[in-house]
Structure 1
């Protein structure tokens, strides 16, 4: 068996060519009737010339029907049709019906169909082998009988190694080799083409399914990113507003100026939160007003600069420090080394991690807590460190706050992992809590903790 004839497994099942459609059966019936009419006309013409005139008319009619009409079922039972056509062809030759044109076409189609539509390849090969062997046996028998019967083709000499009769026999053998070889080859080619089409359709369906899975995954990743952004924005600004509102309430009667300053900070923080939320909503709606909202989600993970929050980076951490100090948490900032070229994704991730860390200090650090923010630059990486002197958030306190501390730390880890960095989270030995994130500046370079 050739490699091209090897069984094709599709969806775990060996592929078998399906039955033809109703239209195929109608076409085969038309073909059989046309060939029967053409063969009948050819028989009449041959009889007029004197070839096959000795055969009875009724015998010719039966032979024409047996030779052509079974072709109407050639794609339903290809092996049976080919055997019937072969037997009819041999009987017609032996009875000297006298037709050698359309009968050869009908036999060729029958053998071709076995290769093209045989659902069992072993049976198809056996049937074709039997037919070809029988035809060549008949051919060689006729040539041998003719070589010893001078009354057959008396004008051809039998003398010599390559006599005219031998040349005639070689021409017949070569013609039959081309005839049956062509029917066999083109039948197998048609079968392989049908199988290749099915394989191509299967691969196309698999690629379409993979594209759909990728699209769904991209949407899920983008939704997760937006959820992280919402958490960071809301948690930060709400905590600032809460602290400032408490301060304003305590000094409202005795120190109106301080209360006004706190209310001003609340207003500023609220406006900033609204601006960032507008940016996130714009991301959700997409940039194309004419398209559906979901149409823009597929590519958002690769285009963080489209959102308004992407303008926040390492260069704006000083604003976070000032805002944290104004909200009642004394915070210092130290930058070590020469600032390098950090990508917008790294800048935004570092900004959000610092924002979340300071928010957690305000929520869980307690009274008297302070925070230190350090940014260390090197040739290969940038390190962000946020340390505080307050109390570390306990699991019970995080649960009491609705689990925001847990979600915030999860968001930090996801942001760092997305750019190939590392992060350390945990209590310090001398008290307080430490958040240290390291981001690689060179793409694809791993960061050692």
Structure 2
């Protein structure tokens, strides 16, 4: 017997209860009608008293109103009513057989305790078969029952009749068991399919929400990298222009030129980002302006903004995947932005790009003063968090912290993978 303990069929509800009450009333009325008709035929001489009719037919039909709420008790009561009708001469055989079949079917289809459902049907079936056998044995020795039918010999007419009765009852109880089990299994399968459908729908919604969240995170990182970098350059150069506009107009004009250039670059990158968001198919065809091959442009920009910066490339340059290329570029961009914002005046920076046998690494260091580094550590942290998310997404790690000799260090390392076959355009340019 298969274990169904993990699933329970839900209650029939009000509509199901109303349907069962209607079925019980229809069968009760039909049983009285057919009993009167059977009595009219004269096939049942010496019929039972009316109160026996009421008890037998009532017990057989009316409890079916609660058949799906209490399957086993209802089946037992209906069986008792069936026995009363058959044993005490109530002239009805059609409706009571239908009612008993319906009760046994309901046990198989609706009883949540499957072991109880099995033993209840088996017990009722065995008792009914034993009752039938006893009745046939008693009738075989009475000449008043089936008068004129031969009873001599193993293949007599009465023996044939008895065999037909046994086969009919076995098919009757077997059919009630089969269709009840089939209904239970079908309902269970449907419930499991519906549950799986709900789980799939929930997973689809969750996946969609996660995709939106990842898109929002990616957009936030891009906007932070683009805006923070260029705005910090513009802020520093605008301050320099304000301080030198009276005593050194030429220097102020140069600083304002850097502001103008940074503003134009920021607008171009924002347009590129917006264009990619509107039409993702253009992302792969758009010219690549970021990557480790363009670190020299970041270094030059840092130098023009007043932060002496050098670029050192170590190892043999090699193609790296596009996502790794962009992630490393963004790390350097954010690190140089932080140098300009937090390292203080007079600080210098150094950018190292290392191509190793097992990994590619970028490192940005500065020699900013110690007290100003503490301001960096108290910042919003979005830039450092964005670095870790970007590098983590391509399988790398990021280390940030104070240097023993003073200043701050940002190091990002991404291991090489056998599947790294997406090259970038060119090698780092000095």
What band does the TM-score fall into relative to the shorter chain? 0.7 to 0.9
Equivalent of residue 21 in structure 1, options 13, 27, 52: 13
Equivalent of residue 403 in structure 1, options 365, 379, 386: 379
Q: CA–CA distance in 2 between the matches of 1:407 and 1:354? A: 15
Deviates more, 1:253-262 or 1:425-434: 425-434
Q: CA deviation at 1:238?
A: 2.6
Q: CA–CA distance in 1 between the matches of 2:389 and 2:195? A: 37
Q: CA deviation at 1:354?
A: 0.5
Q: How many residues align?
A: 417
Alignment-derived partner of residue 3 in structure 1 = 2
Asked if 1:248 corresponds to 2:241, the answer is: yes
Call closer, same or farther: CA 1:275–1:47 in 2, change over 3 Å: same
Q: CA–CA distance in 1 between the matches of 2:324 and 2:297? A: 17
Asked if 1:331 corresponds to 2:309, the answer is: yes
Alignment-derived partner of residue 424 in structure 1 = 399
Q: Secondary structure at the match of 2:302?
A: helix
Asked if 1:156 corresponds to 2:150, the answer is: yes
Q: Secondary structure at the match of 2:172?
A: helix
Q: CA–CA distance in 2 between the matches of 1:119 and 1:197? A: 16
Is the Cα contact below 8 Å between 2:362 and 2:411 reproduced in 1?
yes
Q: Secondary structure at the match of 1:319?
A: helix
Q: CA deviation at 1:206?
A: 4.4
Q: CA deviation at 1:340?
A: 0.4
The residue correspondences of 1:179-194 to structure 2 (distance < 5 A) are 179-194=172-187
Q: CA deviation at 1:195?
A: 4.2
The residue correspondences of 1:281-292 to structure 2 (distance < 5 A) are 287=278
Asked if 1:178 corresponds to 2:171, the answer is: yes
Q: CA–CA distance in 1 between the matches of 2:87 and 2:341? A: 105
The residue correspondences of 1:37-436 to structure 2 (distance < 5 A) are 37-55=29-47, 58=50, 62=54, 63-121=56-114, 123-153=116-146, 154-160=148-154, 163-277=156-270, 287=278, 305=283, 312-335=290-313, 336-343=315-322, 345-377=323-355, 381-391=359-369, 396-398=374-376, 403-404=379-380, 406-428=381-403, 432-436=407-411
Q: Secondary structure at the match of 2:353?
A: strand
Is the Cα contact below 8 Å between 1:249 and 1:259 reproduced in 2?
yes
Q: CA–CA distance in 1 between the matches of 2:53 and 2:419? A: 82
Call closer, same or farther: CA 1:424–1:58 in 2, change over 3 Å: closer
CA RMSD of the aligned region, Å?
3.7
Call closer, same or farther: CA 1:431–1:444 in 2, change over 3 Å: farther
Alignment-derived partner of residue 294 in structure 1 = none
Q: Which runs of 5+ in 1 are unaligned?
A: 10-14, 289-299
Q: Secondary structure at the match of 1:157?
A: coil
Q: Secondary structure at the match of 1:3?
A: coil
Q: CA deviation at 1:267?
A: 1.4
Asked if 1:31 corresponds to 2:60, the answer is: no
Q: CA deviation at 1:378?
A: 5.3
Q: Secondary structure at the match of 1:133?
A: helix
Call closer, same or farther: CA 1:411–1:392 in 2, change over 3 Å: farther
Is the Cα contact below 8 Å between 2:149 and 2:158 reproduced in 1?
no
Is the Cα contact below 8 Å between 2:57 and 2:85 reproduced in 1?
no
* TM-score scaled by length of structure 1: 0.78
Q: CA–CA distance in 1 between the matches of 2:184 and 2:63? A: 21
Q: CA–CA distance in 2 between the matches of 1:105 and 1:310? A: 80
Is the Cα contact below 8 Å between 1:364 and 1:393 reproduced in 2?
no
Q: Write the deviation string for residues 290-335 of structure 1: whole angstroms up to 9, x where unpaired.
A: xxxxxxxxxx9xx9949x9986323332321221121122333344
**Larger relative CO (CA 8 A, sep 6+): 1 or 2?**
2
Alignment-derived partner of residue 424 in structure 2 = none
Is the Cα contact below 8 Å between 2:71 and 2:107 reproduced in 1?
yes
Q: Write the deviation string for residues 364-400 of structure 1: whole angstroms up to 9, x where unpaired.
A: 444443333333345754322333454467553225x
Call closer, same or farther: CA 1:393–1:198 in 2, change over 3 Å: farther
Q: CA deviation at 1:280?
A: 5.9
